[in-house]
Amino acid sequence: MKQVTLIRGDGIGPEITEAVVKIIKAAGVEIDWDIQTAGADVIETEGVPLPERVINSVKNTGVALKSPVTTPIGKGFRSVNVQLRKDLDLYANLRPCYNLPNVKTRFDNVDIVVVRENTEDLYAGIERQVDKDTAESIKIITRKASLRIAEFAFDYAVKNNRKEVCIVTKANICKLSDGLFLECARDVAAKYPSINFREILVDNCCMQLVQNPNQFDVLLLPNLYGDIVSDLCAGLIGGLGIAQGANIGKNYAVFEPVHGSAPDIAGQDKANPTAMLMSAIEMLNYIGEKEAGEKIKKALFKTLEADIKTADLKGTATCSEFTNTIIDFLVD
Ligand code: NAI
């Protein structure tokens, strides 16, 4: 039986985790979950939000399904997510964004995959207070990290029958840092003649995305622009409740929804488990359970088509009702 680390998180984390585990079981996939807690609640008992045991578990299983965790503001703890990505060298953040059935959005047929470099740029955390009126953050871009994320994006495009990779930078202003990222992407693009390669500046990209998102296929971005643009893309397909994500490295992968712990609706059975479920479907593909993933996706789509939706999608179903309907469609 395949072992997978399950990080339950906090806020709505435990509710959506329970829903997804139930659905996977109903689909007939037997997983030996190594359940790990992390986040705000863990600080009280273990002193840190991401204890070493969580990292060790992922190192042991190789793959994790993670629900959101709260990062307390101003308490001196590094974000659990940033820490996990760093400790496990999860250098690629992958966010497929496509329309789901019966989820009304401004545009139809959006099908964009955002590939975000996950380890450096302004997220390297190199900041200093120069004097009381000046602060400084350093943007790090290296050839090694830029080449490997570009290779990831082009490999992904080939394996998933995508036609184009569009690289998004601000290389006209950040001439050295974004310039290096762009140079590396161009070098890698030259090795993939079957994939079209396009360059765009990030400001123009944002405008084009909200005017005509259907022109984009795979987007490749450094960390900060990737963070912002991937949320923009989540908005295009109906919001955080349905936006899936994955952090992938050479040896390990962590699949997680894009959204946070939603403390405003925690414990009320209101959360939409779709983003967590879509992330779990990608996790199932990753561990070789593609067929089960497809089966679950079909049941999810049937549920949405039957107009069973949670409040964030203007529906009236609770998280439990939504989950049970998916399970009913699974056995249909
Ligand atoms: P959030 O994503 O938790 O919530 C933003 C809004 O979207 C809220 O109104 C919330 O109710 C709604 N929402 C989010 N997910 C939903 C779902 N599945 N179903 C229905 N509604 C949903 O963002 P916020 O409030 O900025 O962050 C809350 C906490 O989450 C913070 O402590 C933050 O650090 C943490 N966070 C954790 C992430 C992770 O673990 N990957 C990612 C983003 C934030």
Dump pLDDT digits (tens) for 139-193.
Answer: 999 999 999 999 999 999 999 999 999 999 999 999 999 999 999 999 999 999 9
Which of 15, 77, 259 most suits a substitution to test ligand 1, by most atoms within 8 Å of the C-beta?
A: 259
Lookup: tokens for 325? 């309907």
Which residue ranges have their beta carbon within 6 Å of ligand 1? 12, 68-71, 81, 240-241, 256, 259-265, 271-272, 275, 312
CA distances from 302 to 15, 101, 257, 298, 305 (A): 22, 8, 21, 6, 5
Model pLDDT, residue 72: 74
Give the C-alpha separation, 182 to 77, whole Å: 33
- 70's enclosing H/E stretch is none
> Which of 261, 279, 309 is the pocket-test mutation for ligand 1 (most atoms within 8 Å of CB)?
261
Cα(152) to centroid(ligand 1), Å = 28
Predicted local confidence at residue 71, as pLDDT: 78
pLDDT of residue 123: 87
Q: How far is the CA of 262 from the centre of ligand 1 (A)?
A: 4
- Asked whether the predicted pLDDT for residue 48 surpasses 90, the reply is no
The predicted-structure confidence for 17-35, as pLDDT tens digits, reads as follows 999 999 999 999 999 999 9
Q: Would you state the structure tokens that stand for residue 75, as one six-digit string?
A: 């308490």
CA of 259 to the centre of ligand 1 (A): 5
Whether pLDDT at 75 is above 80:
no
> What pLDDT does residue 41 have?
80
CB-based contact 67:5 (threshold 8 Å): no
Closest residue by Cα to residue 328 from 313, 308, 310, 311: 308
pLDDT digits (tens, 9 = 90+) for 79-93: 888 889 989 999 999
Q: Name the residue at shortest CA distance from atom 23 of ligand 1.
A: 260
pTM here? 0.94
C-beta pairs of 107-111 under 8 Å, 24+ apart in sequence: 107/213, 107/214, 107/236, 109/214, 110/213, 110/214, 110/233, 110/236, 110/237, 111/214, 111/217
Q: Is 127 exposed, middle or buried (0-12, 13-18, 19+ CB in 10 A)?
A: exposed
Q: Which two tokens stand for residue 309?
A: 């939706």
Q: With contact defined as beta carbons under 8 Å apart, do 233 and 258 qualify?
A: no
Q: Which two tokens stand for residue 274?
A: 């779709």
Distance CA 253, CA 258 (A): 15
CA-nearest residue, atom 33 of ligand 1:
70
pLDDT (0 to 100) of residue 42: 87
Separation between Cα atoms, residue 251 and residue 21, nearest integer Å: 24
CA 244 to chain centroid, in Å, comes to 5
Please report the DSSP string for 261-297 in residue order: --TTTTTTT----HHHHHHHHHHHHHTT-HHHHHHHH
Q: What is the pLDDT of residues 278-332, one digit of tens each?
A: 999 999 999 999 999 999 999 999 999 999 999 999 999 999 999 999 999 998 6
| The pLDDT of residue 37 | 93
The atom number, within ligand 1, closest to the CA of 9 reads: 40
The Cα diameter of the chain in Å comes to: 66
pLDDT at residue 229, rounded to an integer: 97
Cα–Cα distance measured from residue 144 to residue 106, given in angstroms and rounded to the nearest whole number: 39
Pairing status of strand 92-98 against strand 244-248: antiparallel
pLDDT tens profile 89-126: 999 999 999 999 999 999 999 999 999 999 999 988 88
CB 253 within 8 A of CB 239: no
Nearest-CA residue for atom 44 of ligand 1: 260
pLDDT band at 76 (very low <50, low <70, confident <90, very high): low
Q: Which two tokens stand for residue 212?
A: 């005509």
Is residue 159 within 8 Å of residue 168, measured between CB atoms? no
Tens digits of per-residue pLDDT, 199-223?
A: 999 999 999 999 999 999 999 999 9
Measure 245 CA to ligand 1 centroid, in angstroms.
14
